[in-house]
Amino acid sequence: MSVDVLINNVTKRYGDFTAIEDMSFKINKGEFFTLLGPSGCGKTTLLRMIAGFNTIEGGDILFDTTNINKLPAHKRDIGMVFQNYAIFPHLSTYDNVAYGLKARKVPKDEAHKRIMDALKVVQIEQLKDRMPHELSGGQQQRVALARAIVIEPKILLMDEPLSNLDAKLRVQMRSTIKKLQSKLGITTIYVTHDQEEALAISDRIAVMNLGKVMQIGSPDEVYRRPSNDFVADFIGTSNFLEGKIISSENGSMIIDVMDYQFTVQFDKNHQGDVLLSVRPEHFFFSEESKGIKGEIILSTFLGDFINYEIQLPNGDILEVNEYTEKVGKIRNNGPVTLQINEKSVSIFTRDGKERLVR
Amino acid sequence: MTRFLPKRLDFWFFAKIVIFSLFGFFLIYPFVNMFIRGFTSTDGTFSLAYFQRFAEYKYYYQTLFRSLSVAVSTTFFAMLVGMPMAYAMSRYNLIGKRVINIMIIMSLMSPPFIGAYSWILLLGRSGVITKFFVGLGINMPSIYGYLGIILVFTLKLFPYIYLYVSGALGSIDSSLEEAAENLGSNKLRRLMTITFPVILPTILSGAIMVFMSALADFGTPMLIGEGYKVLPVLVYEEYMSEIGGNAGMASALSMIVIMVSMFVLLMQKRFVAKRKYTMSALRPPQIIKLRVIPKIVLSCLAFIVSLVAFLPQIVVVYTSFVKTSGPVFVAGYSLDSYRTIFYRLARNITNTFTFSTIAMFFIIIIGILVAYLMVRRPSKSSTVLDVFVMFPYVVPSAIMGISLLLAFNRRPLLLAGTSFIMIVAYAIRKMPYTVRSASAILQQIDPSIEDASINLGVSPIKTFFTVTSRLMLPGIISGAILSWISTINELGSSVMLYTGRTATISVAIYTEVIRNSFGTAAALASILTVATILSFIIFALISKGKVSVI
């Protein structure tokens, strides 16, 4: 049923504007795969190319071994959930879900059974006779989901399906979708600009920017091992610091950041200036004199942790988190010394394009 | 992204080609042909002779000044009546608003020349009111000529201003006026500095409708103008007197009328483009509760104005039941007029409804396709299509009739005198209503609904016919009813294109009035009025009270 999706050298241009530039990757059978990026990064363009709403002029898209470049959208056998649900306003819940089965000429009895099953799976069987205008946003979302899965598609596409829901419902629907997907084992391609949502829901994430894939990896990988400064910045919060390699030997090098020196294991040999990206939780306050000197100017209590804004002598501001349980009380404003957890730091070339550590 | 040749040769590509061919053949070719005729002398060479003659002889050029003067005065008076009416109706708790509103809309929907004809019955040489005053020894000013034209036009066309301005006043968020009040403006100051400037573009749109209609109408000045000849009447006479010979002068005059309308329309567009205020009324303005006396006085005034505008239709229906002896009304009532028309003019009645129904069929089909192309497939060619479809809107229908006659009056393109050519004229001339309302509703339909249908396995064409058109239906029907109402009442192109066999009700009313056969004219006009009212009721039911006839 489910298929692999291969994106081979796919390019999309609108006049002078390149929406997708020579993109290649593979989405595995049964995988929950997310296209994540800021608006205009090409994620929706790519999704609509897979769905068949945008033409494919450069490169190929394959489902398993079948090239679908020329296959019209209505013959691709793909389920899709749209950002604004796109529920047919003139049809009841039941008829909305029945729509795709009618197009496939599924016998009535079988269709009825499948529709009721789908409605049950998304927990709206009691709403089957309602018209769309009698449904809330969350209920419409469930109709859209049922309508997409009832046709037992090869692939499920979702275009920012949660962006129109309120925060609480969003989290709830997120887990509904995740559970449903793993139960059905259907290859799913999910588009979002919300990095937190992507981390929560995906098996793998393709982080995109300006029509290019910046990194593909599991949520853990893209968070902890960002390939470049864009990913480090876009996923979670990162503090960027300039540093310098002062010596290198046998893959282990000494880095200097504002006179604070520490040793890291290098993946690639490099000389000179580097860019460091440090998550707020990867700093720790030190009683030693060794470290980065700064001054707490604001502390914010956030329950399980405390967030500090720390101003450096050059005026830059760092964000540092400390777990409440670890310290028990909020630090006072004033001078502090910070050290970096060297195992967790990301180090890039000075231009931020290349990752140097494992 | 925009291109003339599509990547795929799909249904829409062929639809576009067919529509372009139809418009090319029945709209562009006739007008280009007319354009060339206007610049061609009798011996077939290029010549400016007609335009020279127009500029030289007072007989010709004064009609332009008269037309402009009529259009400007009508616009002025229509604003004078329409704006206070709109303000009073939308801001105060008047009594009988529904009735007043319906009377105003009905007077806009009435056949174009019924006003002129009724006012002749009331204020003409042997009119009821005239006789009454003559009996008292008072001489009434003549209704014929400039004064009559202005009176009839103002009463028929002020509803445009009224409808546009009421719409705009209803969509001003009340916080805007409250803010002005809060900043220390008194009522009058608020009206002049906030309310009025904000709705100014809308007032202008209404004014343009009035201006263009007054400029283009030919029935009213023909009936009531007598010696006061305006440009469309001159075009008609030039064409009729030259028939069989060279229609160059009529063509040249038509060009002048079209150029004036286009110029005015462009000016308005330029003005409005700079002042486009988008507002969504979160809180529509509150209706001010007047005390009893002012409320009654204001309601009475509004009622009288709308009644006077609606009067022609009452007069027409009434006189259709009055006994006649030849051209003279005599005491007593009878159905003779109706007997006469059913006996003698039944063909005209069936013609009107048959032609209009067939035209409506084409208008709906082509209208839906054009709306879809314009909204969902925007491209250079779609923009051109938009211009083609909307062009007839600025062309007086009599001129449209002439252009079709000139283009199709000889073999191998001999269509003049057929029912077909009349249906073509109606379809092209009345298409804009349907296209506008169909594209307005399509713009509100989320494209992803169509995507969803395709995604679920229904081909794009089937999706268009089962989902998109289904969702567009309310907009299409209400647009089509407006097209229909306007078609059954159409005079200008009918009068140019009819022959004995293809004459319609409006043509018959026109010829009956010219023959002083007022009784039968009234009966025919009543049939049109009743058909119009019924269509309008259906329209109001379909659009569920959200009535917008503009």
Do A38 and A152 sit in the same domain of this protein? yes
Write out the DSSP string of B136-187.
TT-PPPP-SSHHHHHHHHHHHHHHHHHHHHHHHHHTS-HHHHHHHHHTT--H
Q: Which of residues A109 and B107 earns the better pLDDT score?
A: A109
Of A44, A5, A53, A77, the C-alpha closest to A159 is A44
- Per CB distance under 8 Å, which residues of A are interface residues toward B? 14-15, 51-53, 55, 72-80, 82-84, 86-90, 99-100, 103-104, 147, 151
Of A255, A253, A293, the closest CA to residue A274 belongs to: A255
Contact yes or no for B87/B514 (Cβ under 8 A): no
Q: Which residue has the tokens 């001159």?
A: B234
Q: In what order do the strands lie in the sheet with A252-257?
A: A260-265, A252-257, A239-249, A273-278, A346-349
Domain boundary, last residue among A187, A214, A233: A233
State the nearest Cα–Cα gap between A74 and chain B, in angstroms.
Answer: 4
For residue A80, the chain B residues in CB contact (below 8 A) are 451-452, 455
B259 pLDDT above the threshold of 60? yes
CB A154 within 8 A of CB A2: yes
Is the per-residue pLDDT at B106 higher than 90? no
Contact B449 A88 (CB under 8 A): yes
Under DSSP, the state recorded for A225 is S
CA distance B1 to chain A (A): 6
Q: Is residue A356 assigned to a domain?
A: no
A354 inside domain:
no
* Contacting residues of A for B456, CB less than 8 Å apart: 74, 99-100, 103, 147, 151
If asked whether residues A221 and A125 sit together in one domain, one would say yes
Contact B457 A151 (CB under 8 A): yes
Same domain, A250 and A200: no
Write out chain A residues lying below 8 Å of B379, CB-based: none
Q: What is the pLDDT of residues B298-331, one digit of tens each?
A: 999 999 999 999 998 898 888 888 887 666 677 7
Nearest to B452 among A76, A77, A86 (CB): A86
Residues of chain A contacting B472 with CB distance shorter than 8 Å: none
CA distance B441 to chain A (A): 14
Cβ-contact B488, B530 below 8 angstroms: no
Taking contacts as CB-CB distances below 8 angstroms, the residues of chain B near A74 are 454-460, 463
Among residues A211, A233, A255, which one ends one of the domains? A233
Min distance B452 CA to chain A CA atoms (Å): 6
Residues of B with CB under 8 A from a CB of A: 1, 7, 446, 448-449, 451-460, 463, 467, 470-471
Instruction: Select from B2, B456, B463 the residue whose CB has the most chain A CBs within 10 Å, as the one to mutate to test that interface.
Output: B456
pLDDT band at B353 (very low <50, low <70, confident <90, very high): very high
Say yes or no: A261 and A307 in one domain.
yes
CA distance B216 to B112: 11
CA A25 to chain B, closest CA, distance in angstroms equals: 24
- Is residue A160 domain-shared with residue A87, that is, in the same domain? yes
Determine the residue among A74, A97, A99, A115 to mutate to test chain B binding: the one whose Cβ has the most chain B Cβ atoms within 10 Å.
A74
Longest dimension (CA), chain B: 82
Mean pLDDT of chain A: 91
Q: Would A142 be classed as within a structural domain?
A: yes
Task: Answer with the residue of higher pLDDT: A47 or B237.
Answer: A47
Contacts of A79 in chain B (CB under 8 A): 455
Q: Which residue of A has its CA nearest to B2?
A: A15
Instruction: Specify the pLDDT at position B2.
Output: 40
Its sign, for the CA torsion B127, B132, B133, B139, is positive
Torsion of CA B83, B84, B87, B91, to 10 degrees: -170
3-state SS string for A16-84: CEEEEEEEEEEECCCCEEEEECCCCCCHHHHHHHHHCCCCCCEEEEEECCEECCCCCHHHCCEEEECCC
Cα(B83)–Cα(B160) distance, rounded to whole angstroms? 10
Provide mean pLDDT across the span B481-491: 87
Domain contains A135: yes
Residue A31 and residue A85 in one domain:
yes
Instruction: Give the domains, in start order, of chain B with CATH numbers.
Output: 66-244+285-317 (1.10.3720.10), 321-550 (1.10.3720.10)
Chain B's closest residue to A101, CA to CA, is B456
A202 closest CA partner among A72, A27, A354: A27
Edge to edge, the sheet with strand A78-81 lists A78-81, A155-159, A187-192, A32-36, A204-209, A212-217
pLDDT tens per residue, range B384-395: 888 888 888 778
Interface contact B458-A88, CB threshold 8 A: no
d(CA B488, CA B112): 11
- Closest-CA residue to B204 (of B266, B123, B131, B284): B266
Q: How far is A55 from chain B (nearest CA, A)?
A: 9
Say whether both A228 and A315 belong to one domain: no
Residues on chain A touching B467 (C-beta within 8 angstroms):
88
Mutate to test the interface with B, among A88, A158, A160 (most CBs of B within 10 A): A88
pTM attached to this predicted model: 0.80
Alpha-carbon distance A165 to nearest alpha carbon in chain B (angstroms): 18
Which residues of chain A have a CB within 8 Å of the CB of B460?
72-74
State the CATH number of the domain containing residue A268.
2.40.50.140
Q: Which residue of chain B comes nearest to A74, CA vs CA?
A: B457
* CA dihedral for B401, B407, B410, B411, sign (positive or negative): negative
At residue B310, what are phi and psi to the nearest 5 degrees? -85, -20
**Average pLDDT, stretch B93-101?**
88
To the nearest 10 degrees (0 to 180), the angle between helices B397-407 and B419-444 is: 130
Complex ipTM over 0.90: no
**Distance of alpha carbon A254 from alpha carbon B232, whole angstroms:** 93
CATH code of the domain containing A181: 3.40.50.300
Alpha helices, DSSP H, located in A185-292: 195-201, 219-224, 229-234
For residues A252 and A297, membership in a common domain is answered with yes
Is A90 within 8 Å of B471 when comparing Cβ atoms? yes
Tell me the two tokens of residue B506.
Answer: 């409006």
Tell me the chain B residues in contact with residue A72 when contact means C-beta distances shorter than 8 Å. Answer: 459-460
Asked whether residue A268 is domain-assigned, the answer is yes
> Which helix or strand (DSSP H or E) is residue A273 part of?
strand A273-278
| Total count of domains within chain A | 2
Confidence at residue B372, expressed as pLDDT on a 0 to 100 scale: 92
Q: How confident is the model at residue B284 (pLDDT cuts 50, 70, 90)?
A: low
Q: In B, which residues are within 8 Å of A103 by CB distance?
A: 456-458
Question: Does residue B342 have a pLDDT over 80?
Answer: yes
Question: Does the beta-carbon distance from A82 to B467 stay under 8 Å?
Answer: no
pLDDT grade for B245, boundaries at 50, 70 and 90:
very low
Assess if residue A355 is contained within a domain. Answer: no
**Which residues from A are below 8 Å from B449, CB to CB?**
86-89
Which residues does B209 contact at the CB level (< 8 Å), separation at least 6?
B157, B160, B164, B550
Residue B327: what pLDDT? 67
Q: Which residue ranges of chain A lie beneath pLDDT 70?
A: 1
Kindly state whether residues A108 and A126 are assigned to the same domain. Answer: yes
Where is the domain boundary, A233, A251, A277?
A233
Residues A130, A156: one domain?
yes
At A282-329, the pLDDT tens digits run 999 988 888 999 999 999 998 888 999 999 998 999 999 998 887 778
User: Buried b / exposed e across A28-60, counting CB within 10 Å, b at 16+?
Assistant: eebbbbbbbbeeebbbbbbbbbbbbbbebeebe
Interface contact B1-A14, CB threshold 8 A: yes
Contact of B482 with B549, CB cutoff 8 Å: yes
How far apart CA A122 and CA B241 sit, in angstroms, is 77
Checking if the pLDDT of B288 tops 60, the result is yes
Q: In this structure, are A187 and A114 located in the same domain? A: yes
* DSSP secondary structure letter of residue B133: H
pLDDT digits (tens, 9 = 90+) for A111-157: 999 999 999 999 999 999 999 989 998 899 999 999 999 999 999 99
In the predicted model, is pLDDT for residue B414 greater than 90?
Answer: no
Q: What tens digit of pLDDT does each residue of B447-470 get?
A: 999 999 999 999 999 999 999 998
Predicted local confidence at residue A8, as pLDDT: 93
Q: DSSP character for B378? A: -
Contact flag A74-B449 (C-beta cutoff 8 Å): no
Q: Is residue A196 part of a domain?
A: yes
State how far the Cα of A205 lies from the Cα of A33, in Å rounded to an integer. 6
How close A105 gets to chain B, by Cα (Å)? 10
DSSP B289-348: ---HHHHHHHHHHHHHHHHHHHHHHHHHHHHHTEEEETTEEEEEE-SHHHHHHHHHSHHH
Please give the Cα distance from A358 to A348 (Å, whole number): 11
pLDDT > 90 fraction of chain B, expressed in percent and rounded:
24
Residue A199 domain flag: yes
Give the residue numbers spanning the domain of A327. 239-349
* Interchain pair A73, B455: CB under 8 A: yes
Report the distance separating Cα B541 and Cα B538, nearest Å: 5
Residue A82 is nearest to which of B1, B451, B463, comparing CB atoms? B451
Please check the confidence at residue B22 and state whether its pLDDT lies above 90.
yes
A194, A296: one domain: no
B457 chain-A contacts, CB cut-off 8 A: 74-75, 77, 100, 103-104, 151
